[in-house]
């Protein structure tokens, strides 16, 4: 009986509640960043239809704090393209004080 329940749960989870990765990548809602403030309280920057919103999220509500302007969006995109991450060896050397 337990095996039957496990098998049923497996198929329900796999086929009924699966999220198609291709469909989610075509979504018009994109979470750019989320920052935890307190337990169950977050600030999120979300892009929707080429607009960027700052949202306050708690376990009971979602509030629009601000609609960010186009200049912020351009600065954010520029910052994403200009950031070059150092490799692990460079980080290790800099943290150990080795040149």
Please report the pLDDT score of residue 38 as a whole number: 93
* Cβ atoms 55, 64 nearer than 8 A: yes
Q: Give the C-alpha separation, 36 to 43, whole Å.
A: 7
Per-residue pLDDT of 16-72, as tens digits, reads 665 555 555 667 888 888 999 999 999 998 988 888 899 999 999 999 999 988 777
Domain ranges of the chain: 2-96
82, pLDDT greater than 70: no
Which run of H or of E encompasses 55? strand 51-58
Q: Give the C-alpha separation, 77 to 61, whole Å.
A: 29
Q: Give the C-alpha separation, 55 to 52, whole Å.
A: 10
Q: Give the C-alpha separation, 46 to 30, whole Å.
A: 6
pLDDT tier for residue 5 given thresholds of 50, 70 and 90:
confident
């Amino acid at each position: 009986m337990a095996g039957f329940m496990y098998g049923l749960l497996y198929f329900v989870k796999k086929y009924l509640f699966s999220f198609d990765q291709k469909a989610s990548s075509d979504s018009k809602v994109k979470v750019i960043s989320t920052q935890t403030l307190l337990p169950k309280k977050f600030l999120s920057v979300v892009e929707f239809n080429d607009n960027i919103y700052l949202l306050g999220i708690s376990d009971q509500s979602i509030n629009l704090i601000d609609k960010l302007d186009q200049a912020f969006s351009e600065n954010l995109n520029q910052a994403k393209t200009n950031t070059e991450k150092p490799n692990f060896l460079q980080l290790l050397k800099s943290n150990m004080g080795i040149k």
